[in-house]
Chains A and B, each alone.
Chain A
Amino acid sequence: MIDATLQAIRSFEYWPEIGEGTVDTLIMTALSLMFTVLIGLPIGVALFLTSWSQRSERPLVARIQGWTYNTLSLLVNVLRSLPFLILLILLIPATRWLVGTSLGVAGSIPPLVIAAAPFFARLVENLLREVDHGVFEACRALGATTRQTVLWALLPETLTGLLAAITVTAIALIGYSAMSGVIGGGGLGDLAVRYGYQRFNTPVMVTTVAILVVLVQTVQVLGDRLVARLSHRR
């Protein structure tokens, strides 16, 4: 019985493709996560610095802040309200222009980043809102610039929250990257669509799903561990 199962697994002819798909998924997730954080973090900080609680006492500055906040917020909301699949299709020309193709791993990254960065930015904004007001007051009282306050106080104070937010975003990206398989995006999602959906190949479908579950689980556990280690000192 066991031998038969092992034999079946060994003789499963799609392993090379599944292996490749897994690697592609990992690369897509990792690269898009990196760009998501690079773009989403500053946007999140900008959203926070222009939000109500941070408005300047000078009317002109406050007005500029309000204008910036509304614009950024609208942009973030629009991008977040588009279903990912629609965004993928809408972005095809832009993706081609940016990376030369709308297919494969490279073609998946721009839409992934554009979908995930606004999401991550909101997470960052909310995290910063949770920072104790006293921390700002202390920084202002020390004569710190906004830059110093953000880099030396705010971000360190939210570090564990940021790691948790990155974990959540990474998992969302794994899910999105699978979806990009629908328009030829490569990776496990691509396999699932081509074999599982178009050719009714259930074993490939089940295997890709199992691998996705393992990936998500691994990312979550690693993220949690890291958060736990860094908050250990509290």
Chain B
Amino acid sequence: MIEIRGVGKTYHTPTGPFQALRAVDLEVAKGEIFGIIGRSGAGKSTLLRMINLLERPTTGRVLVEGTDVTDLDGEPLRRLRQRVGIIFQHFNLLNSKTVQENVRLPLRVAGDLGRPDQDRRVAEMLDLVGIARHAQKYPPQLSGGERQRVGIARALANGPHILLCDEATSALDPETTQSILQLLLQINQRLALTIVLITHGMDVIRTVGDRVAILDHGSIVEAGNVVEVFLNPRTSVTRALLAESGIESDAAVTTDAGDGSQVLRLTYHGPLTEQPLLTIVSRESGLDFAILQASVGRLKNVPYGRLTIKTSPLDQDALQRLLQGLDSRGIRHEVLR
């Protein structure tokens, strides 16, 4: 659906060239929700804007729905942008126009529909995002969440196959964020829409993401399925981001108690989460466990568990048996101490 091949971007600043992106490769499949996460200044926004060429890459190619769009200009570029919707952190609505007129704007720009068809389409969009009752209001009269819904309606008015979300929930409170994310999930399924979103909040990816790429200083340091990346982070950047959202933390690991006990981290997901794993393993191994830290929940629709446990004192043989037992059940483990 979207292919980004070896894309780099260099800005010329008064203090010399600044490399915002370097040799980024990315592929987004049709119908998935792809998250790009990173701290501010990591280059996420630049990367996202490459997809509708609001930013042009210095090197590399961008392909959208199989077409190389990197060098598009003029009318073909405008046509591409009409096919790729985008929503913004600060909504970027026209405050001087009603909600209805804001949503009509892309239809007027495209110029494919007559007035009555535009009206129908606008009503349809407002219905989809649940703000039909605010059609005649002006954006400043709406709450942040409602304004973002207008933004979504505007982005979808021309029936794009791709929706780009630029920190779309970063200016919203947690509750509103959830409702907007649910809306994104809903339209993703209902319209088979491919969604690419950038965020600095892991929770956003966790709630809606199918796949994720972690961007740091202009490079992708890790990418893959959300479950895979979140439960088995390979880089310190990912770990640090996860620690901030409470999925991963080593804070519970205290210094060696000196009594021969071991501290392990167990990770599992899917159907395993429904089983009484700890009690089974405990019974089999004859060991007792103290739970030092636990995180159980869902990554989009995949349940997962992540436990940091301290065993009762044990020798090497007992440890090996315990680890084999975990392996045989498909529980991933790390010996922390």
Contact = CB atoms under 8 A, between A and B. Distances in A.
B109 A148 contact: yes
Contact of B88 (A137, A143, A152, A234): A137
Given A142-B109, A143-B110, A135 B81 contact: no
Interface string A123-155: 000000000101101101111110010001100
**Looking at B56, B84, B94, which has the most chain A CB atoms within 10 Å of its CB?**
B94
B78 A145 contact: yes
Interface in B73-117: 77-82, 84, 86, 88, 90-97, 105-106, 108-110
Nearest to B89: A134
Contacts of A135: 92, 94
A143 B78 contact: yes
Interface residues of B, number: 29
Given A233-B138, A234-B138, A141 B108 contact: no
A144 B109 contact: yes
Contacts of A57: 56
B148 interface: no
A148 B86 CA distance: 18
Interface majority SS (helix, strand, loop, mixed), chain A: helix
Contacts of A234: 95, 138, 140-141
A134 B110 CA distance: 20
B240 to A, nearest CB: 30
Interface residues of A, number: 20
B54 A140 contact: yes
B108 A152 contact: yes
A135 B151 CA distance: 12
B92 A132 contact: yes
Interface string A45-87: 0000000000001000000000000000000000000000000
Contacts of A152: 105, 108-109
Contact of B90 (A134, A142, A143, A153): A134
Nearest to A156: B96
B105 A142 contact: yes
A138 B80 CA distance: 14
A159 B96 contact: yes
B206 to A, nearest CB: 27
**Looking at B79, B84, B109, which has the most chain A CB atoms within 10 Å of its CB?**
B109
18 contacts: A57-B56, A132-B90, A137-B54, A140-B54, A140-B81, A141-B54, A141-B81, A141-B86, A142-B82, A142-B105, A142-B154, A143-B78, A143-B81, A143-B82, A143-B110, A145-B109, A148-B109, A157-B96
Given A134-B91, A138-B154, A141-B52, 8 more contacts: A138-B88, A138-B92, A138-B93, A138-B94, A141-B54, A143-B79, A143-B109, A152-B105
